[in-house]
Structure 1
């Protein structure tokens, strides 16, 4: 790979050697970071798959119960039954640092004294399917929030993995080979200059010896 034009001096050679050593060290660190991010990402992907299957099944079942409840109850009664919630839930958002990536952490806080009171209506004029649907949604609320957390974490890690991969490739296939090529060119140029200087010195020495010899012959 041909390098760009550089000044073939020993100062430039030393500068490039230091820069190359730093680039090789950075390349190794970035590869380690990429591998660790990939490991964390795959663990989250596996967890995401299990949670997605569980949540999808729960939501599908809850929707079926709610659809039956809606069919067996007057529309106005169903709307009034779920108009006001008896439960109060707070969601605290925190952050966890994974290899420089800030991923969200959801912390659920239930503030209702009676945690068993999830039905905001009386049972006399409502369908049992409505009770089942609400119970399923309540029981899987934590899994839904965890799924949202995991999916967002996967997105952030995937973006960071791609950015790290581009940096690794730039160092591995462009910057490091270019610096190595420039170092070889400067080394070859300096060696060539040194050989030329040696040839000139030998020529000068030969000329001095010839002049000395002629001078000695004249003295004789």
Structure 2
């Protein structure tokens, strides 16, 4: 926590009032940023859970496909698998965006999966179906991974701002307000003492 005070061009009571207003505004900003960061962290964990679910689903599917792929490769050869991979046209993915608490994140949707350009044997066709499912998962996973990156970056930025306000700006404002308050209290006491002395002197002169 900072123990410094803010340097002021002039020490006046107006400056003290301004500092108190600034402190109230800074505390309000700190609360808003902290609340936003809390909500973003919640969104981050929602996206993280979804991403982990998709990764598990993808790993399970790949674990299932690999043995089937190598069996088919031994039985039909590489040409059949190459034909399974060849399509009449590219896959179409729709791209959009959505707003998550002020952060623009991607929205991806597989519009159409191109079918193989030839009729395939049953085993190869089954691999093709799993391939389609893998593509869908990869696109959805890509959407959530990018969302995680963007939200994580914003959370990191907000955390730095919140800590700066909490550990530097607010303590400096408090220290400066405390310093000015003590200074004005001291000046007021000195003024009272001076007034008492002047009154005493005037009173003494009046009795002479």
TM-score with structure 1 length normalisation?
Answer: 0.84
Pick closer, same or farther for the CA change 1:98–1:78 going to 2, 3 Å.
Answer: closer
Secondary structure, aligned partner of 2:169: helix
Residue of structure 2 equivalent to 1:97? 99
Q: How does 1:7-18 map to 2 (within 5 A)?
A: 7-18=10-21
Secondary structure, aligned partner of 1:92: strand
Q: Deviations over 1:19-49 (max 9, x none)?
A: 1111100111011101101111111111111
Larger radius of gyration: 1
Aligned length: 205
Aligned-pair CA distance for 1:18: 1.2
Q: How does 1:172-211 map to 2 (within 5 A)?
A: 172-211=166-205
Question: Which shows bigger deviation, 149-158 or 60-69?
Answer: 60-69
Q: Structure 2 CA distance, aligned partners of 1:89 and 1:184? A: 67
- Residues 1:159 and 2:153 aligned together: yes
Residue of structure 2 equivalent to 1:150? 144
CA contact (8 A) 2:80 2:124 kept: no
Q: How does 1:16-165 map to 2 (within 5 A)?
A: 16-76=19-79, 78-79=81-82, 81-82=83-84, 84-86=86-88, 88-110=90-112, 118-123=115-120, 128-165=122-159
User: What 5-or-longer segments of structure 2 have no aligned partner?
Assistant: none
Residue of structure 2 equivalent to 1:115? none
* Structure 1 residue runs of 4 or more that deviate by more than 6 Å after TM superposition: none
> RMSD value over aligned CA atoms?
2.0
CA contact (8 A) 1:62 1:133 kept: yes
* Counterpart pick for 1:170 among 164, 176, 189: 164
User: What 5-or-longer segments of structure 1 have no aligned partner?
Assistant: 113-117, 215-220
